[in-house]
Amino acid sequence: MAKQLRLMHVHAHPDDESSKGAATTARYVAEGVDVHVVTCTGGERGSILNPAMDRPDVLSNIAEIRRQEMERAREILGVTQDWLGFVDSGWPEGDPPPPLPEGCFAALPLDEAAAPLVRLMRTFRPHVVTTYDENGGYPHPDHVMCNRISVAAFDAAGDSDRYSGCGPVWQPLKLYYHHSFHRERTQALHDAMVSRGFVSPYGERLAEWTPDPEHAARITTRVPSADYFAVRDRALLAHATQVDPNGPWFSVPLEVHRAAWPTEDFELVRSHVPAELPEDDLFHGIRDRDSAAAELQVTP
């Protein structure tokens, strides 16, 4: 009998696990994959983005409320989860932007910030790891730092000469970047809304969004996940401080999401197994290996 497949998602803040790749997560959980979410910070400096939750009692207790929201989302998605325990860096506002707060996640030395993630990779032993691209998906300092520690930990976890105090080595086999909010998908959603006679929430944004064929070409892997969009949306709504149920995302009917763009999209950036691109499965090249090969230790 083959060993259970394991997938690790590394995210910057609570709610990111629900807004990026959550339907893929739900699909793999339903298939029996062991999925673990790593949340780098508590989101302590995050804004309240749902007007109904923008109240003094919420703001004064934002860190604990966001932990509670994460627990609800975790239960909906069916995953396990760990906090790395770093402090949210906040969004720097100003021109030029102010210095990062002392001691925050994005201001830490890379080797120090990557250490607990190396330990988790060696403990959970994922076959596949996902995170953001080098720009963080969007340039929040914590998202950029999340990318940096994820790549560093992926490369170090299987190296016995590094992080000797972080447990027995384990080399994950594949590393992916999320590409969730790209123009191609947004255009498809817009066109589908217009063709059905609905008002699209994306017209103004698309008019200001310059097409970037090079970025679109980075997508290597499209995971069919439309059957799990409803689970994704339930997980999103669990983050009530961050997600407005009356906002643009939920103005697009679920059936339009399913018809217009039925996949979640990723970029394969590291692989220790042969890759045949394009793919429709994060475990392509791993799933068909026998149980011994699936546990193969590879040291770069």
CATH of the domain at 174: 3.40.50.10320
Residue 216: per-residue pLDDT: 86
191 belongs to a structural domain: no
201 belongs to a structural domain: no
186 belongs to a structural domain: no
235 belongs to a structural domain: yes
In tens, the pLDDT along 184-235 reads 999 999 999 999 999 999 999 999 999 888 888 999 999 999 999 999 999 9
86 belongs to a structural domain: yes
| Residues belonging to the chain | 300
pLDDT higher than threshold 70 for residue 2:
no
Of 196, 261, 282, 239, the residue nearest 39 (C-alpha): 239
212 belongs to a structural domain: no
Tally of structural domains, the chain: 1
139 belongs to a structural domain: yes
pLDDT band per the 50, 70, 90 thresholds, residue 117: very high
Domain that holds residue 244: 6-181+219-294
15 belongs to a structural domain: yes
Tell me what the mean pLDDT of segment 29-41 comes to.
Answer: 98
Parallel, antiparallel, or unpaired: how do β-strands 6-11 and 34-41 relate? parallel
The rounded percent of the chain whose pLDDT value lies above 90 is 89
The number of helices, as runs of H, and strands, as runs of E, in the chain is 13, 7
Residue 27: per-residue pLDDT: 98
Residue 242: per-residue pLDDT: 97
The rounded percent of the chain whose pLDDT value lies above 70 is 95
Question: Cβ distance 179 to 219 under 8 Å?
Answer: yes
125: left (phi over 0), alpha (psi -120 to 50) or beta: left
